[in-house]
Structure 1
Amino acid sequence: MCSGADTTILKNSSIAEQNKFAGIGGTVFFTAVMAFIASAYALYTVFDNYYTAIFFGLIWALLIFNLDRFIVSTIKKNDSKWKEFIQAAPRLVLAIIIAVVISKPLELKIFEKEINQVLLTQKNDLTLANKTQIATQFTPEIEKINSEINALKQEIEEKQTETDNLYNTYITEAEGTAGTKLLGKGPVYKEKRDKHDASLTELQQLKTTNNAKILTKENEINQLTTIQKQQETATQPIIDGFDGLMARVNALQQLPWLPSFFIFLLFLAIETSPIIAKLISPKGEYDYKLQDIENSVKTWITQKENQRKNVLDTDVALNQTIYNDLATEEEIYNYKKQKAREILQMQADAFHKSQKSIIG
């Protein structure tokens, strides 16, 4: 049944012939089983749900089974191998496409650990790139605020330096080591001491004012940093979810191609084996019986078509003869003349009545 053979003919064939088609059918069946496993896994990576993956995987397996069964059953044995190959060429192309579709999900499962490693590297790169991209939105503002804070601190430092210099000036004046070089606290000392005290007061006021501004700006930086972290946290699940079917296929392409190619060859051999088996197998008992039935039907249909054509030709000839004979009969002529006269009279009466109604 799986091979698409006519079971009625096959039951009346030899055991060897039955075994041949049983092998072809078994290949078709197990190809569908592998298609179910492959598609169910692929769909599970998409939907992340067992029931959905199994349901659609079963639909896909039935589709592949039906296609393979159709491909095998439509290849008819011919006396010319070249004609058989031409007949099977489109089916071989379809089988190659099916082999690619079936093998790819299983490759993803077989190389799952290696793919996960590639995806981990990609996720890390995406995380760093995402942080860099988000940082570009906040870094200019944060750097601007930091420069303003540094300016405020620089202003305090400059005032502090100025105040310290004034302190050293009036101390050295009192010690007599600089300025007037008179030991003691004279008028010059007092003047320099007053300048220092005024600068110290300004320094304290500046510290109070600038420290308040610095605190405000640091709070602004903290707020921007918090928003930046929130954006990084909000976008991280998208990166963590970067392990869908397309991502895994792309990751598989970054692995060495030879192991994947061998798996593809395996499924290609499985998928094309029923077709190749029918191509290389000699014409058997089943093929002769099937050809005999098809030729019988073809002959019967040809006979019916010829019979219909002969009936039609005979009927046309008879009708032509009959109508030729009727054309010479006087009774038919007089009857048709009478009916034509009645029609002309009716037309004249109808025209007269319509014209009379118009005139009024």
Structure 2
Amino acid sequence: MNNINHFFLYCAGVHEETLKKYPQEHNKYVAIAATIFFTGLFASLSGGYAMYFVFSGTYLDWLLAIVFGIIWGLMIFNMDRYIVLSINKSKTGGFQFLQALPRILLAILIGIVISRPLELKIFDKEIRENLKTTYIANERAKIDSLNIIFNKKYTLDLTQLKSLTTERDSLDARIKADRQKLNFEIFGNKTTETSGVVGYGPYAKRKELELEKSTVYLDSLRSSIIAKERLILDKQKAEGILNQKGLSNASLDSAVNLAGFADRNSALGNLKFKANGQVDEATANAVTFIGLLFIFLECLPVFVKLLSGRDAYDKAIYNQRIIDEYESDAYTVTEKAAIDHLKDASIDISINKRLKKMNEEIEEEV
């Protein structure tokens, strides 16, 4: 436990020899230090996770991510430690707030930066599903776009094919109807267009001749359609349309695994909206509150330092600073004499004031 306390007191940046004189302040500074340490730890995890997608697919990507994550965490840890240490508790509350305001803004920015990769990990399953939907939609949109461009480019050929197909279908239907009429005429079925006399008469011969001509023309139409379809197929191959295929499940999984930080970040933003474009309040609130939580954790050491009163340790450090300035000839002769008196008596300024107040209270009671 002593080693742990020593480590945390180092994180808080306190002067341990001075703090030992005020054991009642230990818990406060250990708590501040623990917040600084765990903020750096979260930053390390966040940075490592983000850089994993940056180096994904390269040699030793996991090792590079770990190294960068450690460096990023140490940098954030050192910055938080400096932010807390730089707040001067000898000043008034308003001055301390103004002094800490730029540091609070910096802490908010750091909180936003370290929270995003952790949010990506928390919503990893939802992000993967969103990426699959997005990739499928993009692939379909790409194919549709190519088809639209192809249709515009080869409008004449497609129009001719459609016209030939329509004519073929119409002629095929008419031949079937005429063949039925011919059968009715031969077998003596009476209709508005047949005589009702059984036998192969002049009308049947003429109808059969017309059917033969129509059949020959139908065959030529079919040959023209086949040739036109082959021509269009060759042009589709040349334009690369036939090479476009829908993504399989294996291809989707591979694409999602290779998705970079930008794609995942975009997918996380898309989670806030439903398929109809309306805001999904539950997901949006979850993402927002998780981000605010990490921002609060990043700002917490500063807030704790600001909200805590000027304790005995702060006063001792302030007094020591005065003595250090005294030794560097920063005070007048009168101020030096007062400080010499305190140093000779081995009493710091804060304790001297407390004793003076106690003496005044005793005199009033007497």
1:108–1:252 contact (8 Å) kept in structure 2: no
1:218 maps to 2:229: yes
Partner of 2:270: 251
Q: Does 1:149 align with 2:165?
A: yes
Match of 1:14 among 17, 22, 28: 22
Match of 1:289 in 2: 316
Post-superposition offset of 1:208? 4.1
Decide whether the 8 Å contact of 1:46 with 1:245 is kept in 2: no
* Separation in structure 2 between the aligned mates of residue 152 and residue 211 of structure 1, nearest angstrom: 7
The one-letter code of the counterpart of 1:147 is S
1:134-283 equivalence runs, <5 A: 134-139=146-151, 141=155, 143-144=158-159, 145-152=161-168, 154=170, 202-203=213-214, 205-223=216-234, 227-233=240-246, 240-241=255-256, 244-254=263-273, 255=280, 256=282, 257-283=284-310
Asked if residue 53 in structure 1 is aligned to residue 65 in structure 2, the reply is yes
Amino acid at match of 2:21: S
Structure 2 match to 1:357? none
Q: Which amino acid aligns with 1:134?
A: L
**Structure 2 Cα separation of the partners of residues 116 and 150 of structure 1:** 46
**TM-score normalized with structure 2 length:** 0.64
* C-alpha distance 264-250 of structure 1, shift in aligned 2 (>3 A): closer
Q: Quick one: distance in 1 between partners of 2:332 and 2:11?
A: 35
Question: Aligned residue for 1:70?
Answer: 82
**Corresponding residue SS for 2:244:** helix
Structure 1 stretch displaced more, 87-96 or 275-284: 275-284
Aligned-pair Cα RMSD in Å: 4.4
Q: Which of the pair is proportionally richer in helix?
A: 1
Q: Residue 40 and residue 303 in structure 1: after superposition, are their counterparts in 2 closer, same or farther (change >3 A)? A: closer
Query: 2:49 aligned with 1:41, yes or no?
Result: yes
Deviations 1:287-332 (A, max 9, x none): 23322332234344455999xxxxxxxxxxxxxxxxxxxxxxxxxx
- Distance between the aligned counterparts of 2:199 and 2:213, measured in 1? 27
Q: Which residue of 1 aligns with 2:95?
A: 83
Instruction: Give distance in 1, aligned partners of 2:248 and 2:149.
Output: 15
The answer to whether the Cα contact below 8 Å between 2:119 and 2:290 also exists between their aligned partners in 1 is yes
Aligned to 1:324: none
Q: Percent identical across equivalent pairs?
A: 29
Partners in 1 of 2:102 and 2:297 — Cα distance? 17
1:93 aligns with 2:105: yes
How far apart are 1:111 and its partner, in Å? 2.5
The residue identity in structure 1 corresponding to 2:243 is Q
The equivalences for 1:112-123 within 5 A come to 112-123=124-135
Alpha-carbon separation, structure 2, partners of 1:281 and 1:299: 28
Contact persistence 2:47–2:117 (CA under 8 A): yes
Offset of 1:69 from its aligned partner? 0.9
Where structure 1 has 5 or more consecutive residues not aligned to the other structure, the ranges are: 173-177, 307-360
Shift of 1:273: 2.1
Counterpart residue identity of residue 137, structure 1: I
The TM-score, its normalising length taken from structure 1, stands at: 0.65
Give 1:64 shift.
0.8
Change (3 A) 1:143 1:234: farther
Q: Which structure's CA Rg is the greater one?
A: 1
Of the structure 1 ranges 269-278 and 213-222, higher mean CA displacement relative to structure 2 is found in 213-222
Letter in 1 for 2:110: I
Deviating beyond 6 angstroms after TM superposition, the runs of 4 or more aligned structure 1 residues are 156-165, 183-186, 192-198, 234-239
Paired residues of 1:119 and 1:251 also in contact (CA < 8 A) = no
Shift of 1:73: 1.1
Q: Tell me how far 1:153 sits from its aligned partner.
A: 5.1
Distance 1:287 1:94, change over 3 A: same
Residue 241 of structure 2 aligns to a residue in which SS? Answer: helix
Q: Deviations over 1:58-99 (max 9, x none)?
A: 221112111101101111212411211111111111111112
Alignment of 1:333-348 (within 5 A): none
Residue 105 of structure 1: aligned partner = 117
Residue-by-residue CA offset, 1:135-189 (whole Å, 9 max, x unaligned)? 3234465742233333355467668888999x79x979xxxxx9xxxx9999xx5
> What is the deviation of 1:265?
3.5
What is the deviation of 1:216?
1.6
Equivalent residue runs for 1:299-310 within 5 Å: 299-302=326-329
